[in-house]
Structure 1
Amino acid sequence: MLDQGNTAFVLIMAALVLFMTPGLAFFYGGLVKAKSVISMMMMSFGAIALVGVLWVLYGYAIAFANHGEGTNVAGIVGFFSIDWNQIGLGQAFEEAKASTINAAYPSMAFVGFQATFAIITVALISGAIADRAKFGAWMIFAGVWVTVVYFPVASWVFNLTSGMFATWGVIDFAGGTAVHINAGAAGLALALVLGKRVGFAKGAHKPHNPPFVLLGAAILWFGWFGFNAGSEGAADGIASLAWVNTLAAPAAAILGWLLIEKIKDGKATSVGAASGAVAGLVAITPACAALTPGWGILLGFLAGVVCCFAIDWKYRLGFDDSLDVVGVHLVGGVFGTLYLGFFADTTGLIYSGSFAQLGKQAVAAGVVLVYSFVLAFVIGFAIEKTIGFRVKTEDEVAGIDTAVHGEEGYVLYEERDETPVSVR
């Protein structure tokens, strides 16, 4: 019979993960200038709308082709396949109508959970092109990229019946490769395609609303418990371990980030605390079910330190990753993925004496990084050379909210015909 407890668990975890994308909108929205906040937040909400529809139509059919018996699969199994029975979720719909389901949870619950991963991955990319991207061009990019990059990569990582990484023995419990390396590599590609913001220099673009940043980080952290613990698909001991590591690692990462900030700049900032938490969450994502909490704390602390240094690389290397998608998500994702090669329970170097797990982790990280970067660059370049991806310079300088969306994030007063009356 259907396990209603696990079904409820998966559905609740899915709702938590979906809540992460509005949290990301606040996090990113607070980091940009005041006249770009609507544009920034709309890219996250646009991802929810577009990717949610595409996932139902055909995304799940690609990501989880051959995910069960009796499927009709076409393509190269393990690299890119499509299950025609799941187009429009036909097979999952028929199962949901069945009076008896002998499973831990219905496949439709799993469909919903995995949909939220696709949504947040696309939304993460938008931070790399803040303050200068057209909304329509972004939506076209999001639709093409999620189809040709995310859906196949999700199959490699999360499709445990036929995915490449599962057969290789790669450890990625909740998406360090599929989500963070994937989004970070795509963000780097788009940052190169769109070029630098006007006046790009260290310290030239300051967050306009740090309380938004802290609020967004808090929502992300809250939702991340669903992201990591929910990936177990059951309310059991492994989910509990993932939950504790999702608490411990980002907490340690905050300490690591703030320590480096204090040493480098003399001050520990609220934006640094929020960024440190996210860096720790990114790093623990692939590792949350394969590390003891002690090793999880060390991973988080080191991720905070490494990512705090990494966000300055864009100034040295000359690319404008507006909100540090590369420095936090790409670097943090790679760091967490490789860390497992040393400290993963049983198979890591310190337990097994073998570099085999490290080799598997490195290959997986490299494959996703290159695949995502190359295709994102090609898609972004094609859009830029046809309809244009970047807004006009004058709109960028003035702030793109009014030019792109016809709205302002902060209306402090309304102009009226009447003469203002002073208040005594």
Structure 2
Amino acid sequence: MKVKKRWLVSFVIIAIISIVSLFWENKNQLQSQFSSVEAINFADVAWLLTSSSFVLLMTPGLSFFYGGMVGKKNVISTMLQSFISLGVVSILWVVVGFSLSFGESLGFEIGGKHYGIIGNPFDFMFFDNVGTIPHKQLAGTIPFVLFALFQMKFAVITPAIITGSFAERVRFIGYLFFICLFTLFIYTPLCHMVWHPNGLLGAYFGVKDFAGGTVVHMSAGFAALAGVLVLGKRKNSEHIPTNIPFVLLGTGMLWFGWFGFNAGSTFAANGTAAMAFATTTVASASAMLTWVFFDRINGRKASALGACIGAVVGLVAITPAAGFVSIPKSIFFGFITAIVSNKMLYWNKLKQIDDTLDVFACHGVGGIMGMILTAIFAEGQNASLLHGGWSVFGHHMMALVLVAFFTFFGSILLYKIVNWFIPLRVSEESEQIGLDLTQHNEKF
């Protein structure tokens, strides 16, 4: 398929979506699933509107975080790969993504109870049935449309996280098709299985994922690892980060937005939100300091880049447990995860496969550590290993293996499918010149 035809197909797809949206009408009315306008809590609405805005800011923050780390000739392309997700995934989420994530469970029976692996794609297609009345099961005190928009921001940032792994060598149009497939076939079923009330991992395995350690960071981390293996190493993997102030700015935006990411996942303005707010910032602070000190005792300089990476690793680690653990425990979450991620980042075998911005070492390993630590420390009777929940811990470990297998091999398959139609990797000449000029005709 020639270049112009690829872009023509993309244009036709968005044109068809735009036209169909004018006439779409779902005959499936789901009135029994909703309460009434009187159930709305205005404090919860205000907090979720704020949290949704916070989480949206994280994707531009990620673009600065990644853009400052790459070489000068790839800054714009790297930042755009994150930023474009705001457009692509938002439309995809409205059309069918939200319905696949939170529609009526489609799955199978276990012990006389139904467990879902994906949502009914027609329940909320084009945001039909998504209005101002609260949904009884999913978010009982806020308009359903606000719940849908809040969840949209999570879907947006997940494929954006992946881009750091194959930065400086991916073809833009191929990447656009990949994030569509990833969102539909990896993110939405994982989201449904963990966060829907009847989801297989959440309801049957008892997986605790407060705000996305499994759904967002583990899935992005393993998809990143898969992408590195499929695309291969860069021709010149040595470069100096172009703009450390960009990285500092991006880290600040991510840290700020993460308060909405974690504390907003209570879906209420309450004490749990306040606790999640606190554990989020404390874990990040702990991981930042640990990373800097650990670098220094290993003979490396105390760097701004290291401090930023450490802070983000702490944010990733606490995400699945933010509302389930105390503030002192969040210090340990940041401390131990920073050490493990730091060791993985400098592990020679990971360096050899050329994960450009160490996405797996930070997000993948951070998500894994968060999931394990949550299964050990989550508070409440039989909630975790330390509180008598041996089965919870065992189910978490089983789910960890299942999620890793599903996201890694599923992503490899999607990369291969896209690469069959559109070469995912740019030419050697384009890579040498830089993606800013060859893909976008722009210069930093």
Q: State whether TM-score is above 0.5.
A: yes
Whole-angstrom CA distance in 2 between matches of 1:136 and 1:316:
27
SS at match of 2:120: strand
Match of 1:340 among 364, 374, 392: 374
Whole-angstrom CA distance in 2 between matches of 1:56 and 1:42:
22
Whole-angstrom CA distance in 1 between matches of 2:283 and 2:184:
32
Question: How big is the shift at 1:387?
Answer: 1.7
Whole-angstrom CA distance in 1 between matches of 2:392 and 2:106:
31
Residue pair 1:307, 1:332 contacting (<8 A) in 2 also:
yes
Partner of 1:350: 386
Gaps spanning 5+ residues in structure 2: where?
1-37, 109-114
Residue pair 1:261, 1:267 contacting (<8 A) in 2 also:
yes
| Amino acid of the structure 2 residue aligned with 1:302 | I
Partner of 1:284: 318
Partner of 1:391: 426
| Amino acid of the structure 1 residue aligned with 2:387 | Y
Cα RMSD for the two superposed structures: 1.7
Aligned: 1:259 with 2:259: no
Whole-angstrom CA distance in 2 between matches of 1:251 and 1:243:
13
Q: Which moved more, 1:241-250 or 1:382-391?
A: 382-391
Whole-angstrom CA distance in 2 between matches of 1:17 and 1:355:
34
SS at match of 1:198: coil
Match of 1:374 among 409, 421, 425: 409
Match of 2:362 among 317, 328, 339: 328
Question: How big is the shift at 1:408?
Answer: 0.3
Partner of 2:173: 136
Partner of 1:17: 55
Aligned: 1:26 with 2:64: yes
Q: In the superposition, relative to structure 1, how do residues 387 and 103 fare at CA in structure 2: closer, same or farther (>3 Å)? A: closer
Gaps spanning 5+ residues in structure 1: where?
67-72, 97-101, 410-424
Residue pair 1:58, 1:88 contacting (<8 A) in 2 also:
yes
Question: How big is the shift at 1:315?
Answer: 4.3
Partner of 2:5: none
Whole-angstrom CA distance in 1 between matches of 2:210 and 2:204:
14
Question: How big is the shift at 1:93?
Answer: 3.3
The CA deviation string for residues 185-208 of structure 1, in whole angstroms up to 9 with x for no partner, is: 0000000000001133xxx22211
Match of 1:198 among 217, 224, 235: 235
Residue pair 1:61, 1:87 contacting (<8 A) in 2 also:
yes
Question: How big is the shift at 1:275?
Answer: 0.1
Question: How big is the shift at 1:80?
Answer: 2.0
**Consecutive aligned runs of 4 or more in structure 1 exceeding 6 Å deviation:** none
Partner of 1:184: 221
Question: How big is the shift at 1:316?
Answer: 5.2
Aligned: 1:89 with 2:124: no
Partner of 1:419: none
Residue pair 2:201, 2:399 contacting (<8 A) in 1 also:
no
Partner of 1:70: none
Question: How big is the shift at 1:8?
Answer: 1.4
The CA deviation string for residues 344-376 of structure 1, in whole angstroms up to 9 with x for no partner, is: 113222232x53222122122222111111111
Partner of 1:148: 185
Residue pair 1:11, 1:112 contacting (<8 A) in 2 also:
no
Q: Which moved more, 1:74-83 or 1:220-229?
A: 74-83
Aligned: 1:80 with 2:118: yes
Whole-angstrom CA distance in 2 between matches of 1:254 and 1:62:
37
The CA deviation string for residues 186-241 of structure 1, in whole angstroms up to 9 with x for no partner, is: 000000000001133xxx22211111011101100000000000000001011111
The alignment's TM-score, normalised by the length of structure 1, stands at 0.89
Aligned: 1:3 with 2:41: yes
Question: How big is the shift at 1:384?
Answer: 2.4
The CA deviation string for residues 22-64 of structure 1, in whole angstroms up to 9 with x for no partner, is: 0000000001001101110111121111100000001111100
Match of 1:172 among 198, 206, 209: 209
The alignment's TM-score, normalised by the length of structure 2, stands at 0.86
Question: How big is the shift at 1:397?
Answer: 1.7
How many pairs does the alignment contain?
394
SS at match of 2:425: coil
Residue pair 2:230, 2:415 contacting (<8 A) in 1 also:
yes
Whole-angstrom CA distance in 1 between matches of 2:293 and 2:185:
40
| Amino acid of the structure 2 residue aligned with 1:104 | T
Residue pair 2:103, 2:123 contacting (<8 A) in 1 also:
no
Aligned: 1:123 with 2:160: yes
Partner of 1:55: 93
Q: Which moved more, 1:372-381 or 1:230-239?
A: 372-381
SS at match of 1:26: helix
Whole-angstrom CA distance in 2 between matches of 1:75 and 1:350:
32
Question: How big is the shift at 1:74?
Answer: 5.4
Partner of 1:422: none
SS at match of 1:285: helix
